[in-house]
Amino acid sequence: MITPLPHWYLLGAGNMGTLAAWYLTRAGHTVTVIKAGSPASLEKTLLLPEGKSVTLTIPVVAPEAIPASIDYLLVAVKTPYSRAALAPLNTRLHDASQVIRLQNGLGALDGLLPDNLTVLEAVSTSAVKGQHPHHQIVAENHTWIGGKANPPAWLAALQAHWPNLQWADDIHTPQWQKLMANAVINPLTAIYDVPNGQIVDDPELRKRAEEICTEADHVLQALDPAWPAASLENVLAVARATAGNTSSMRADRQRGAITEIDAINGWIVKQANRLGLEVPENQAVMDALKR
């Protein structure tokens, strides 16, 4: 018997959501965006790294018109919008629903989904920029999916269409590596309103980067003694490799939007408080960005 390919409901048809929709539809999956007050479909253009542009037409459904049961849900809204986006869906999710969280930071869906539901966590080092309806793939790197589950049946076939997609039995390693880069680069570039490379070049930022990194590494090591707690080199390498880029938090701040600080440094501060550890630099950047 042939198992039908998943039909995904997509929360967040922005940069990341559009990229995911493109890969999923290439693999024969179908995608419907959940969005209130939108037209019946979204027309998107996605500029690929080789310079070619593709057009995607993605159907849209309003939250109140979603059928009784959602089997596959992909969450790609920015973290502060998770609660509002998920609120209308709770009664449609069931124990066997597959939910993928494709967001930076950690903990953004905690307490927002029915108990017993398994969430697969996705971490991507790819980069997409733009504004609806035009999106551009800036870098097509790696995406890891993992969680407290076995690899889903559809994953192997999807890998042929989603570049560098891999299953991670231990998702927290790529997740924490990405968290460390985000925790240092995002708040500092947002507060000082500078491109990523300044973290390496400016002595004041470099010093603050080291402090944020050391504190966060201690917290992660307290959570998992196997964590090597030597993230600075990797973080600085990311800052160098993306030297001219504007981080997403800097961009959010420039346009007056709420940032993902709560899911990034906020998550580190929360863990530190629970463990009785001091993280003054993480607390300071969080306070500065919440002002």
Site residues for ligand NAP per CB under 6 A: 11-17, 34-35, 76-79, 81, 84-85, 102-104, 124, 127-128, 132, 248, 260
Reading the block at residue 57, the tokens are: 């037409």
Q: Report the distance separating Cα 138 and Cα 151, nearest Å.
A: 28
Of 137 and 213, nearer to ligand NAP (C-beta) is 137
Of 81 and 192, the one with the shorter C-beta distance to ligand NAP is 81
Q: Least distance from C-beta 256 to ligand NAP, angstroms?
A: 14
Supply the minimum distance, in Å, between the C-beta of residue 203 and ligand NAP: 28
- E strands, 110-259, are 119-124, 127-131, 134-139, 143-146, 165-167
Give the residue with the Cβ less far from ligand NAP, 29 or 178: 178
First to last CA, the chain: 57
Tell me the closest approach of the beta carbon of residue 4 to ligand NAP, in angstroms: 25
Cβ–Cβ < 8 Å for 219, 231 = no
> Smallest distance from the beta carbon of 242 to ligand NAP, in angstroms?
11
Contact 145, 122 (CB under 8 A): yes
One DSSP character per residue, 174-190 reads HHHHHHHHHHHHHHHHH
Q: Find the shortest distance in angstroms from Cβ 122 to ligand NAP.
A: 9
Task: Output the residue with the shortest Cβ distance to ligand NAP.
Answer: 14
> Closer to ligand NAP at the Cβ: 37 or 225?
37
Residues 285, 266: Cα–Cα separation, whole Å = 9
Judged by beta carbon, residue 77 or residue 119, the one nearer ligand NAP is: 77
